Amino acid sequence: MNFFGLFIGIATLLVIGLGFIWVIRSEYYLGYLWWPYFIGMGVLFILASLFVPSLWGSALVGVIGASFIWGSTEFKEQAVRAEIGWYPFNPGPKPDPPFVEAIKKLPAPHL
């Protein structure tokens, strides 16, 4: 019997659960235009996982990376949800990400 997969599956659920929270918070304070930086962070995490020698460490870093990439695809819809009034809308100014004009020309991903 090998419980590594079961336990890493449970850990994945917890990481995804955290994703709901940080996507809502990040969209509220930063705005959805930061999505490319979350993809970048996710890719860096997954690349870093290749160099983590421990099984648990590598798997967790990989799953956290995947969750960053998934979360980045949720930003646009979260922004719309807040504008409709399903979630709190932050009326204050949001910080522009670096290269904001270039980002605005890109279609924000959603899956």
Task: Using CB under 8 A, list all residues that contact other proteins.
Answer: 1-10, 12-13, 15-16, 32, 45-46, 48-53, 55, 57-63, 65-67, 69-70, 76-77, 79-86, 89, 91, 108, 111
In the complex, minimum distance from the CB of residue 27 to other proteins, in angstroms, rounded to a whole number: 9
Helices (H) and strands (E) in the chain, counts: 5, 0
Spatial CA neighbour of 36 closest among 111, 87, 109? 109
User: How far apart are the C-alpha atoms of 59 and 49, rounded to whole Å?
Assistant: 7
In the complex, minimum distance from the CB of residue 12 to other proteins, in angstroms, rounded to a whole number: 5
- Contact in structure between 82 and 89 (CB atoms under 8 Å): yes
Residue type, 37: Y
- Contact in structure between 58 and 50 (CB atoms under 8 Å): yes
